[in-house]
Amino acid sequence: MHRRFLLPVFLLGLMASLAGCGETPTGRSQLALVPNALMADMGEDAFNQLRNSQPINRDTQANQLVQCVAEKVVAGAEASYPGLAFPERWEVVVFEDASPNAFALPGGRIGVHSGLLRVAETPAQLAAVIGHEVGHVLADHGNERLTQQLGIKAVLLVVGLLGEEEFGNQQLMQALGIGAQLGINLPFSRTHEEEADLMGLEIMARAGFDPQQSVALWRNMAASGGGQPPEFLSTHPAHESRIRALQQGLEKATASYRAVTPAEC
């Protein structure tokens, strides 16, 4: 076999051997090849870029609420998934943005839009969103999507033949699920969204927030409008489908909630 064919064959073989080698916290098979340290570095870079380009909310009461809820959600995540590695600390910023949104990034960064505080009427509803976003991070969804986007480049990254600088900033933002903040619209897949919903439900419950409020939150989201497209045209579950899936997970989450002290924020 000619030498110029050896590397592609080796890389394809390596990808095949790695396929299905990992699992998410819910037990779903996953291929996520980007080193965790690199994902954390990319999360830090993306967060700093947002902090330098987006206005930050300085309202003391709003920031205290978000900080309190985020701290309890992180503690709930650690209680829910004790076998996972967690950042030593999480940085939380409230951005001045009217859209009802939030995000979490590898390495321990959480961003909350001020507009979310007008839709999330209680601390528990805010916890439902933050728990969902932390679920994306714990399930390594950004890594999984970046691996899919990079294809064979992901293997080159693993074996040290490719560096972070070799792929574009837009691609990183899309993979991390924060493209919308910078005008790049590419949400997480429906599989990722549904998995993060169920993980977030357990996380908020272990954090001491009533999981029933997750359903109330999404009803508020539906009432707030936003022109959501038909479900078959969107990677995000439609509001009603999302609510039905959450309701199916409420029995287990409610049992977890009853076993802990209710949170106060």
What residues are labeled active site?
133
Helix count (H) and strand count (E) of the chain? 12, 5
| Spatial distance between the Cα atoms of 32 and 20, rounded to a whole number of angstroms | 9
Gyration radius of the chain's alpha carbons? 19
| Spatial distance between the Cα atoms of 67 and 55, rounded to a whole number of angstroms | 18
| Strand, coil or helix: 51 | helix
Residues forming a β-bridge with 23: 29
Residue tagged 């990677």 (tokens): 235
**Which is it for strands 109-113 and 91-95: parallel, antiparallel or unpaired?**
parallel
